[in-house]
Chains A and B, each alone.
Chain A
Amino acid sequence: MRSAPSVRGLLGQNVVPLLFATLCIAGIVAAREAIALEILAGDIVTRLGRNLFLVLSLIVPVVAGMGLNFGIVIGAMCGQIGLILVENAGWSGLGALGAAMAFSVPLSLVFGGLTGRLLNRAKGKEMITGMILAFFANGVYQMIFLLLAGPVLPLHNQKILLDDGIGLANTIDLSGTAGKLDHLLRISLLGGRIQFPIATFLLITLLCLGLRWYLRTRSGQELRTVGQDMHVAEISGIGVDKVRMRAILISTVLGGIGQILWLTSTGMGTMNTYSSHEQVGPYAIAAILVGGATVTHATIWHAILGTLLFHTLFVVAPLAGQAVFGAVQIGEYFREFVAYAVIGVTLALHAWKSRRG
């Protein structure tokens, strides 16, 4: 058993979340005129439900030692394809939402498999490779859905196609599926100012429990071993490449489902066919890092705390910028700067630590 951690140790480990908590509180104080606390709370509950699943999907590759999965964008694309298929069929309702998820899973397995193969060729460079792969896949995605949808791919629903029937429209209305899960079961708090979507959070809780269980199974143990030392894992007879592949598959599948949840969350309901997936990676990654995760260590609590803090900052930064500098943009650029900085600093710290052993 560990002895009681020292105050300094605790501070050191949690310096990032503490810093962000301070920033959030400062932001809330600065923006107190602009937004009522319970509105803010309601907003953040919605955003938690919307983003948490995606952020959680990052955990498994970190445990497997593959770092932050910038390739999660691939999963997000698969999720969007699932939604496109459902919209094409004209389905709606909770069943359609389930169907979109079901469609996304095999796609995620195929494209996650390709991702895994590539990342196994780029050991030690997984993050940058995943990132560039996401850009590349974006090109392929656009090619398929701009040029082939209609003439080659059997998508016929004029509602989602461009006027001339070739290529998907830039935005697709998801009103058939949006909010369906959130509205399935929810409680109103504070006289309706906070709508707590129980069903969504139930699903997230299920995922958390599932992840916890999985990481304790034999397969999860192998994942950990590979994450700690590939060489040791190899010697102990673990198929390193296979395990890494498994990690990416899980992450991609979860990313796909997470993207569907994100797009169909209350208040969303529209998919930007060609750009909704692009920001998924950086923002989800920034969120989990804000919670205190690192390139080599990430837990469910990091994901939850990080999503909470990051999205609080996301909401209050522009308002605080308006209040303090008289310019909304300052806050907007600031939160963007923060998102980049937190990833950059984490990566730098990781590289620095791993060099010093």
Chain B
Amino acid sequence: MLAVADRITVLRDGAVAGRVDRADATVEKIAELMIGRALPERDLPPRAEGADPSVTLRLRDLVVEMPGEEVRGVDLDVKDGEILGVAGLAGQGKLGIANGVLGLFPATGTVESGGSPLPLGDTLGVLKRGVAFVSEDRRQVGLLLDESIETNIVGTAAHVQGRFLKGSGPFALLDKSAIRAHAERMIEEFDIRCQGPTQAVRRLSGGNQQKVCLARAFTLEPSLLFVSEPTRGVDVGAKDRVLQLLVKVNRERGTTIVLTSSELAELRQVSDRIAVVSEGRIQGILPPDAPDVDFGLLFAGGHGARRDGHGGES
């Protein structure tokens, strides 16, 4: 681009972020424009200091055929109890990782959790191993829009774990009162603004829909949680609330979280480490307080600097 263009305009979030002439342009400068400068404040609760955490999820040569978000060979270690951010530009494959691990798109490679392989392509098997997923596509994948809040919250847990049932065997019925009680607790805990647990989720705002998605995932009581684009289409107030919830669960229950987002700022706000995906591969892993320039270079495909980052706070 630098070789052929006279002037370079950088677009970010659908608006012009800045223009530079070729004479002034450097990779770093463009990278800064691509990322946006504001480094958010990090005001996170501390976590208990302990021994160097073990690896809870190990990806080797993961290839995912997700149209538009192809993953072309990812090696990644997720440590027990951390929040790992996954960043990258749209279409580079960052969304494919979670979808591939959960078996929603055809994938190859090895995925190990807790030392034993996760069955690729078997969503039920993966969910049963204590992995949960909040999809980037809230309306198409994340929710049953015409069903009630309570059905959305407990549906997956009832199916995967056989919870919220009265009795056992194939004729066990859903336990309405247990479901209602759980849903009401979640509505309060997650501050879901609604008319009650029987309201259809279609009627909720984007932020509250997202909270329902998170409530559904947390109901599974996962040890490892994939969350993709949790703040997309969510108003500002709810955005913070969603991020706080993730941090809270991470700190209180020790849930390992792999947080994929297009907004680097929010990743830097809550993550322990941030892996940057480009062209379907991990280009590097950076601490959240790494300079913008480093992020920008990795976003652009890692040409120039290549750093193997290790945990930010570790």
Q: Indicate if A touches B (C-beta under 8 A).
A: no
List chain B positions with a Cβ less than 8 A from chain A: none
